[in-house]
Amino acid sequence: MSSLSPPAHKIWWKEPIERVEIMWIGICIVWGLLMTFMMPYWHVVGKQNLSNEAYRITPAYFQKKAQEVVDKHTVRVETDQKIPVVAPPVGSDVYLVARLWEWWPILELKKDQSYRLHISSMDWQHGFSLQPANINAQIMPGYDMVITVTPNKAGTYSVVCNEFCGIGHHKMVGKIYVKE
Amino acid sequence: MATNNEFRTCPDTGLLFHKPAETLMRLNAVVAVVFLMFGGIFGLLVGLTRWPAVHLLPADTFYLVLTSHGINVLIFWVIFFEVAVLYFCSSTLLRVRLATPRMAWLGFALMLIGAVTNNIAVLSGRSSVMMTSYVPMSAEPAFYLGLILFAVGALIACFVFLGTLVIARAEKTYEGSLPLVTFGALTAAIIAIFTIASGAIILIPTFLWSVGYISNIDPLMYRVIWWALGHSSQQINVAAHVAVWYAIAGVVFGAKPLSEKVSRTAFLMYILFLQLASAHHILVDPGVSSEWKIFNTSYAMYLAVMASMIHGLTVPGSIEAAQRKRGFNKGLFEWLRKAPWGNPTFSGMFLSLIIFGFIGGISGVVMGVEQINLIIHNTIYVPGHFHATVATGTTLAFMALTYWLVPILFRRKLMLAGLAKIQPYIFGLGMSGVALFMMGAGTLGVPRRHWDMAFSGATMPYDFPAAAYTLMGLAGASVVLAVIGGAIFILVVVLSVFFGKRLGDTEKSAVPMIAQPVTSYEGIGIGSIAIPGTLVLAMVFLASFVLYYFVNWKYLAQTWGLS
Ligand code: HEM
Ligand SMILES: [Cu+2]
Ligand SMILES: [Cu+2]
């Protein structure tokens, strides 16, 4: 009888299991446990983890906090749109606003220093995608996501949007400078 | 009560068909293929737009077509076909009448009306929200309404399937337990019911929101519940296509499972351990704790992964055992070399298994790791992954089954048999290219659902490295190959169904269409190992898996510190 018919032995659950199957199941269990272990292990020894610190906020509140930092720490403006470049003190709270279709403002950080980066959306969902470091996170309206970032290489980074957010989605690119 | 003239016996396979069930199977399968054709054409347009050198469509059309592609193939093609599979696995395999054919017709009608309604909403241009329709971006009410009607229809089909099992048991049309294939279909149907319930919980309020009865839907809550639908629907597909793998192993080789217990337990694990694995879609969302993510991805996902790894061993294992029993018992791989590679039912099934496991399976587990998801989320790696799982694993398995079903269900000879022979290779190769090259581009950060990787019109565009453009170009070329493969399938099926040579209801064809069942697996293999070839394949798989897994941890370790 093939797999298309009822099992030949009515009490099939008492048939012995094929040797290779038992071996393979054993391997799968060990591998699954190892993979389960890796995630908490990385929280202890790894340097790339999300804190999962997040707050429910309103877009208006987030915009206000971002404006305060911009007012205090803008060092220059760039492009025709006069986008402020913000160089916040090491260790401080930095705000990045996602809105149709820009990441605002431009940030200037120092290599090997940590900052509490807050990101939230003013409208639809957006995708924070830092290139070429390739760090990606889902950004939502109403949630302030806090990530403590520590840039490990100097250079000019771009923030691409990788959650579909309407017709201008592909124009939504921001910038982060990392200085030595 | 069913009368005898409501049944016919297939002269080639000995299968007993309940005529009302047969009509519904044909109809669901044909409609499925029509949606695959639609979705495939849209896939081509999407692919040609993402090929940087071609960049075919303007942005608004691209997003419209992408929305339509996702919904037509992922939902309509796959689920219409699954309904046909459910009816086959219940009514035909158990030799019983279909429960309440009228309800089954109602289900079919609702699914069709829903699918058409949704398509009209998308094609009208005001619902380009992607298949996930994340709030607060909103579509036309008809978009959600179409999906809800479709889901209700699919739910009815699941209950017709369950009802048929009940009738078969009551009327004792089979002895002992359900066939393994039917058991697999049963797990798919149970998961489908859970899936549709989650869908109702999220889509009905979203529909009410779109017409103005509800003022606000929390975007995070939406994602958590939507993915309970979105993820478990993929588990329906896996359970269904694994059932199809076993069915094809039975049809082509007369294979029985190595042990019923193991294969059945593995199916059961899909139900028990899957649902909360939707967590792996929310790994980089704000407001969800690491404990929750780790718990729900490890317990739920790794046990479901384990179930797939078991099927990945037992399906080829049972083929190996059956082949060895038939005399291809030499060496490690005689059974595989001497397999009928020119039979698209077999080659399609086997390619589906290999591509699903090696490309789709491994990449899926890796990107489902809480921290590794940081370097993959929403890049084009993600569509790369699922073009190996559902666009190849499920779709190619269903195509393979179709080649076998057309002569049996429609009593027509397959036309263009020569093209059908090479179709699985063209489609499999093309799709593997689509998957691998998009995955490669994703590791370089290329975003998914994105019209222009050159960011034309942006104030501060980002310059992707040349390698990213090359990879997207190669993906584009693979898209063309995959679409040629898909087009051959549709051509062969449509021509055969409407113009194929009639086989007649009583004559037996010259070529047998179903293998004699193998009764025992005694005395095969090398030494005490019955299936050494499969064991070697499994070890190669494991080595690739482990290697790729740790390579990605290494990539992760090189990026910015995050805490
Ligand atoms: C016929 C050959 C196919 C081609 C050439 C193709 C190509 C593509 C491409 C290039 C994308 C776009 C990626 C992006 O920009 O984000 C895509 C998305 C997608 N494809 Fe396919 N695909 C094909 C078949 C399939 C099949 C058979 C399925 C499922 C059964 C499928 C499911 C999807 C889904 C769900 C999406 C994502 C849509 C979204 O992001 O909302 N595709 N496809
Ligand atoms: Cu955006
Ligand atoms: Cu966007």
Which pLDDT does position B334 carry in this prediction? 96
- For B204, residues 6+ apart whose C-beta sits below 8 A from its C-beta are B148
Give the distance, in angstroms, between the CA of residue B513 and the centroid of all CA atoms in the same chain.
Answer: 25
B285 interfaces chain A, CB cutoff of 8 Å: yes
Contact B90, B151 (CB under 8 A): no
ipTM of the complex: 0.96
Copy the structure tokens of residue B306: 């384990």
Out of A6, A39, A175, the one facing B174 most closely (by C-beta) is A6
Q: Are B154 and B107 in contact (CB under 8 A)?
A: yes
A78, A119, A122, A144, B511 from A61: Cα distances, Å: 25, 12, 10, 10, 74
Per-residue exposure over A135-144, b if at least 16 CB sit within 10 Å of its own CB, e if not: bbbbbbbbbb
Q: What share of chain A is helix, strand, coil (3-state, %, to 5)?
A: 25, 40, 35
Which position has the token pair 């999300």?
A50
State whether residue B93 is helix, strand or coil. Answer: coil
Mean pLDDT of chain A: 95
Q: Is B365 on the interface with A (CB under 8 A)?
A: yes
* B239's tokens: 């359970």
CA distance A85 to chain B (A): 13
Which secondary-structure segment (H or E) carries B486? helix B466-499
* Any domain includes A45: no
pLDDT < 70 positions in chain B:
1-3, 274-277
- Nearest CA-CA partner of B242 in B284, B288, B186: B186
- B69, B380, B434: which to mutate for ligand 1, most atoms within 8 A of CB? B69
| C-alpha Rg value of chain A to the nearest Å | 24
Instruction: State in Å: Cα B69 to ligand 3 middle.
Output: 19
Task: Classify residue A2: in a domain, yes or no.
Answer: no
pLDDT of residue B5: 80
Structure confidence at residue A149 (pLDDT): 97
What tokens does B117 get? 């309604």
With an 8 Å Cβ cutoff, are B459 and A80 in contact?
A: yes
Instruction: Find the radius of gyration of the CA atoms of chain B.
Output: 23
Q: What is the pLDDT of residue B453?
A: 97
Residue A158: domain span: 52-179
Q: Which residues pair with A109 in a beta bridge?
A: A178
- Alpha-helix residue ranges (DSSP H) falling in A15-82: 19-45, 59-73
Tell me the backbone φ, ψ of residue A26, rounded to 5 degrees: -60, -45
Query: How many distinct structural domains can be found in chain A?
Result: 1
B129 alpha carbon – ligand 1 mean position (Å): 15
SS3 B338: coil
Which residues' Cβ are closer than 6 Å to ligand 1? B 40, 43-44, 46-47, 50, 66, 69-70, 73-74, 78, 130-131, 380, 383, 387, 390-391, 395, 434, 448-450, 479, 482-483, 486
Q: Which tokens sit at B66?
A: 């992408």
C-alpha distance from residue B553 to each of A37, B302, B348, B382, B547 (Å): 13, 18, 34, 17, 10
Contact (CB, 8 A) for A155 and A130:
no
- For residue A42, tell me if it sits in a domain: no
CATH number for position A134: 2.60.40.420
In a domain, A33, yes or no: no
Is residue A138 included in any domain, yes or no? Answer: yes
d(CA B244, CA B246): 5
Show the tokens assigned to B434. 């689509």
Looking at residue A17, the DSSP 8-state letter turns out to be: P
Q: Is residue A13 part of a domain?
A: no
Contact B38, B80 (CB under 8 A): no
3-state secondary structure of B192: helix
Q: What is the predicted pLDDT for the residue at B1?
A: 42
Q: Which run of H or of E encompasses B44? A: helix B19-50
Angle between helices B19-50 and B395-410 (to 10 degrees): 140
In a domain, A99, yes or no: yes
Report the distance separating Cα B74 and Cα B42, nearest Å. Answer: 12
What's the whole-model pTM score?
0.96
Nearby residues of B540 by Cβ (< 8 Å), 6 or more positions away:
none
Residue A147 within a domain: yes
Q: Please, what is the Cα angle at B48 between A125 and B397, to 5 degrees?
A: 85
Regions of chain A where pLDDT drops below 50: none
